[in-house]
Amino acid sequence: MGLGVLEDTKLPHVPGTVILDDGVLPDSFEVTGALKHAKGKNGGHIVLNPQPSDDPNDPLNWPLWKRDCLFLIHAFGFVCTAAVPSSLLAAATEVLADTFDVSITKITQLTGFMLLAVGSSGLFVSVLARLFGKRPQFVFASFMCLIGTVIGASAENYNTLLAGRMIQGLGACAYESMLVAIVGDLYFVHERGLRVAFFNFCFASLNAIGSLIAGPITTKYGWRYMFYIYIPFIGLQVLLVVFGATETSFQRNHLFETDIAADVDYDDLARKEAGETKVVASDDQVENCNNTATSAVPPKKTYWQYIAFYHGRQSHDNPIKLFLRPFAICLNPAIIWINLIGSLPIASVALSNFTTAQMYGPPPYNLNPTQLGYMFVGPLVGPLLVTALFLVASDPLALWMARRNNGVFEPEFRLPMALIVGGSLMAIGIFGWGNLYEAGDTPVVGSVILAFYTGGMSALNIASGAYTVDAYREVSVELVIIVMVVKNFLFFGLSYFFNNAVAARGPAFMFNIVGGIVLFGVVILGIPVYMFGKRIRGWWCRAHILKKLHLE
């Protein structure tokens, strides 16, 4: 039993479990010594998982700066298409309700229907990404967000603005659903935690910037200027994704997929590494162990080949089977929990966005859109601090736990820190939001509570992304898609009644219920997932559920 993670007794090697540090025991170095290792002061004994292939077009063979630039382009795309639009209207809720002479619930539904569009298109994006690659989906998404923003800026009535928001939702889908999979495409196991934490920063902190800036803009210039000022950023993002973001999907020999294979043969892999010409996995990241030449490697693509819109068909699977795969993987109990941790905390934070103007706009507070926007300083600072903690600690903690476990890394090692930090902060925030409001505390206290609230959500979101890409990378696209579908349909349903329920029962009553559901579904159920997660991974591999359902 490795640090509380129960061993699987029926498979010699469970997918997701990897030898991460072969310097702990000499015996393990005999097995992995000929494989590619990380470079640097602390990298000499860190085994690269997965192993880079010999193809120079393999993303794992690119220098780290190139992989990071590509990741940052997609992270900026996520901010522009998904993070900012979802919270853009929060501070202007009452202004828009007065402008279009509709209820606050109807304005909330502008975001609800946008998220419905995100969730409804998710399954199609999953299929298209598997068949034709991720790049076409990102390019299409960027253009859709630009078109939706232009429509929103020119809207003269509620229905036109609603149409613009739904088109924005089509743009958000690809970025919201595939950025975690991009981390799996571009990075080794020991590099992923930092990037998942940064992605979470883009999601949580920069999501709050939309509301923070939109409030003063609405007060001074009017609500349309939220869209006017937003358009140039979307335009820049379109240019970056068209001319700077290549395809990251890569068909690598199964022998190299040491982090997802159940039949890893280190001896065979070591012989291959020792007997063939190898391309360094990264100019500044990886060292070769041998350099004898026997086999030719594919030529390196030119820049124009890299940025081609279409890089060939990635899969010849039946599209209907691909459409059903996200539902089928939910037969895995750990994936059900990933759905809970990936949707419940974020949905509960969205409820605080839905209710901020409702709670603090009327008397006795009478906050205008600018002042309501300033309340989102808390949701900016909280996730920023939590993300900084995980940027510093996530990968080193995983490596430390692997060393305590004889050099073997388990994906479950990503969970304890996130559950402890996230659960504690979330409890303070989610129960404090409604109860302290009813106790008469000031909006400043409300903003501080939102910092705890969103900081806890950030920690749990990091756990969701990191565990997904480490434990189930082979189905990470389908997994993130189904989480996104559940989350956004949940948003949409709540947008129909939650504001009215808060008005009728009070925020303390409603958020106490939400808090109980979130903490039980995520933190309490996370304990058995940590303990039995490896056995579940082993069972999932042995059971061949997708194959039995003819979906593989």
Span 430-439, pLDDT tens digits? 999 999 999 9
Residue 20 and residue 510: Cα distance in Å, rounded?
Answer: 45
Is a pLDDT exceeding 90 seen at residue 280?
no
| 146 SS3 class | helix
CA atoms lying within 13 Å on the CB side of residue 462: 38
Structure token digits, residue 410: 């388990």
pLDDT at residue 32, as a whole number: 65
Q: How confident is the model at residue 262 (pLDDT cuts 50, 70, 90)?
A: low
For the chain, what is the total number of helices (H) and then of strands (E)?
21, 4
Q: How confident is the model at residue 281 (pLDDT cuts 50, 70, 90)?
A: very low
Structure token digits, residue 267: 């001896």
pLDDT at residue 131, as a whole number: 92
Q: Has residue 277 been placed in a domain?
A: no
pLDDT digits (tens, 9 = 90+) for 193-252: 889 888 888 877 777 787 788 888 888 899 999 999 999 999 999 999 999 999 998 887
pLDDT at residue 284, as a whole number: 45
pTM for the complete prediction? 0.84
Beta bridge partners of 19: 408
DSSP 54-117: S-TTSGGGS-HHHHHHHHHHHHHHHIIIIIHHHHTTGGGHHHHHHHHT--HHHHHHHHHHHHHH
**Helix pair 443-471, 189-221: axis angle to 10 deg:** 150
- Supply the range of the domain harboring residue 400: 59-251+320-548
Provide, rounded to the nearest whole percent, the portion of the chain with pLDDT above 90. Answer: 53
Hey, what's the torsion of the CAs at 39, 394, 473, 420, to 10 degrees? 160
Amino acid at 379: P
Closest CA to 94 of 367, 335, 389: 367
pLDDT digits (tens, 9 = 90+) for 454-497: 999 999 999 899 999 999 988 888 898 899 889 888 888 888 88
Q: How confident is the model at residue 265 (pLDDT cuts 50, 70, 90)?
A: low
Q: Has residue 413 been placed in a domain?
A: yes
Q: Has residue 414 been placed in a domain?
A: yes
SS (H, E, C) 350-404: HHHHHHHHHHHCCCCCCCCHHHHHHCCHHHHHHHHHHHHHHHHHHHHHHHHHHHH
Residue 542: CATH number of its domain: 1.20.1250.20
Q: Interior CA angle at 166 toward 164 and 171, to 5°? A: 95
Q: For the residues 336-358, what does the mean pLDDT come to? A: 90
Is a pLDDT exceeding 90 seen at residue 13?
no
Q: Has residue 17 been placed in a domain?
A: no
pLDDT at residue 293, as a whole number: 36
Residue 180 and residue 182: Cα distance in Å, rounded?
Answer: 5
pLDDT at residue 491, as a whole number: 83
Work out the mean pLDDT of the chain and round it to a whole number. Answer: 87
Q: Has residue 353 been placed in a domain?
A: yes
Q: How confident is the model at residue 101 (pLDDT cuts 50, 70, 90)?
A: very high
Q: For the residues 392-407, what does the mean pLDDT come to? A: 90
Least confident of 15-24, 94-103, 291-300, 414-423: 291-300
Q: For the residues 102-122, what does the mean pLDDT come to? A: 89
**Given CA atoms 101, 347, 172, 456 in this order, what sign does their dihedral have?**
positive
pLDDT at residue 312, as a whole number: 83
Q: How confident is the model at residue 274 (pLDDT cuts 50, 70, 90)?
A: low
Is a pLDDT exceeding 80 seen at residue 81?
yes
CB 179 within 8 A of CB 199: yes
Q: Has residue 72 been placed in a domain?
A: yes
Residue 105 and residue 263: Cα distance in Å, rounded?
Answer: 54
Q: Has residue 335 been placed in a domain?
A: yes
Residue 57 and residue 195: Cα distance in Å, rounded?
Answer: 21
Residue 386 and residue 432: Cα distance in Å, rounded?
Answer: 19
Q: Has residue 46 been placed in a domain?
A: no
Per DSSP bridges, beta strands 408-409 and 18-19 are: antiparallel
pLDDT at residue 30, as a whole number: 59
Is a pLDDT exceeding 90 seen at residue 395?
no
CB 163 within 8 A of CB 233: no
Number of domains in the chain: 1
Is a pLDDT exceeding 80 seen at residue 117?
yes
